[in-house]
Amino acid sequence: MDNQELIPRLFRTEYQKIVSVLCRLFGIQHIEIAEDIVSDTFLAATETWSINDVPENPTAWLYTVAKNKTKNYFKRNSVFEQKIVTEIKYNSAINLEEIEIDLSDKNIADSQLAMLFTICNPCNANEAQIALALNLLCGFGINEISDAFLTSKEVIYKRINRAKEKLKEENIKIQQPTAFEVKNRLDNVLKTIYLLFSEGYYSTSQNTTLRQEFCTEAMRLAYLLTQNQATNLPATNALMALICFHSSRFEARTNENDEIILYQDQDETLWNKELIDRGTYFLSKSSTGNTLSKYHLEAGIAYWHTQKKDTTEKWEHILELYNNLIILEYSPIVALNRTYALSKIKGKEEAIFEAEKLNLKDNHFYYSLLGNLYTDYDNKKALQNFQTALSMAKSVSDKKIILKNIDRINANKI
């Protein structure tokens, strides 16, 4: 692998690890120093490896250079030493004579967990938490994040900087979450990971690779939580199961032209059996205790969607899970999705009646679902709804799906 491929790959996997360790060491007030040191480390790799051969263990090389740059920063920056090192020494009990930057697997995991709970502090809005998590914990650049959210680089840059400043203003400590913090903030952490995964699974961005990487990062962060005793809780395992089940069908969801393939048309042989088994394992682990979260119910729905056979039993289970989800945490989109399961059990007439009661006229999915429900029941109304959905849809992939449904109805007229 040449430098043009190796360095970006290492940046994605190692940048966030080193940043998390250094941020935890320096504190939230000096987060930019940590980022600068790590950026300089990768710049040194780019320059050195273009002249000399790539080292036998490039990751170890990066860690060594990052450690040395950190130590050099301590030595040469008198302001840092006078005003900041004392605080670090007080907070971290570091012997400055023999300072050691701990980049062991355990400390990296602990630091990332501490950073995750810091970034997901409710003092920032959800969108700011996600942007900051993508940047600091997942190693995504400003350009990539702005591409994912279809907004300008300036907007994302300001969003991330405001989020950092807010954490500084609140003087949030980067430390292992206490039992109290886990109890009170785990919901927010899980929500951020859930939204990160959702952005990857259904993204308005046309960058398919980026979408998959968002899902991979969400899975990595969820797995990180399952590996820590304090956060290895039923809701965490349920979220991990949900991510695994949905990710298992990723390769079957698009064709070679990056066009979305609807569930009923997916090639089951492309589903990832290993991820389905892994999801089943975490879903089983989530069943302990008395807590029922929306992640349990959504994971259950996702599990039944990994069973391709179109049986009454399958749709009865899905409908029951949707019914419970609406009771636990109602949302119009959940209610809308429920009507498709309802059509499988009660028939299209009752499903159409329930769907139209929702009256979600500002959502193209509403009209797309009605188009599907009306197909072969009242094709004239089906076409009307698909045409409305087409006029409202924003992404190219959504428009292609709608046009394909319209073509199917028109083809049946002949």
Q: Where exactly are the structural domains of the chain?
A: 1-103, 104-230, 360-414
Query: What local confidence, expressed as pLDDT, does residue 94 receive?
Result: 47
pLDDT of the chain, 414 residues: tens digit per residue: 566 778 888 888 899 899 999 999 888 888 999 999 999 999 999 999 988 888 999 999 999 999 999 988 877 775 555 555 555 555 554 444 455 688 999 999 999 999 999 998 889 998 898 889 888 888 888 888 887 777 899 999 999 999 999 999 998 889 888 888 898 889 989 988 998 888 778 766 555 555 778 888 899 999 999 999 999 999 999 999 999 999 999 888 888 777 778 788 889 999 999 999 999 999 999 998 888 999 999 999 999 999 988 899 999 999 999 999 999 999 999 999 999 999 999 999 999 999 999 999 999 999 999 999 999 999 999 999 999 999 999 878 788 889 999 999 998 764
Query: What local confidence, expressed as pLDDT, does residue 107 receive?
Result: 92
Query: What local confidence, expressed as pLDDT, does residue 212 receive?
Result: 79
3-state secondary structure the chain: CCHHHHHHHHHHHHHHHHHHHHHHHHCHHHHHHHHHHHHHHHHHHHHHHHHCCCCCCHHHHHHHHHHHHHHHHHHHCHHHHHHHHHHHHHHHCCCHHHCCCCCCHHHHHHHHHHHHHHHCCCCCCHHHHHHHHHHHHCCCCHHHHHHHCCCCHHHHHHHHHHHHHHHHHCCCCCCCCCHHHHHHHHHHHHHHHHHHHHHHHCCCCCCHHHHHHHHHHHHHHHHHHHCCCCCCCHHHHHHHHHHHHHHCCHHHCECCCCCECCHHHCCHHHCCHHHHHHHHHHHHHCCCCCCCCHHHHHHHHHHHCCCCCCCHHHHHHHHHHHHHHHHHCCCHHHHHHHHHHHHHHHCHHHHHHHHHHHCCCCCHHHHHHHHHHHCCCCHHHHHHHHHHHHHHCCCHHHHHHHHHHHHHHHHHHC
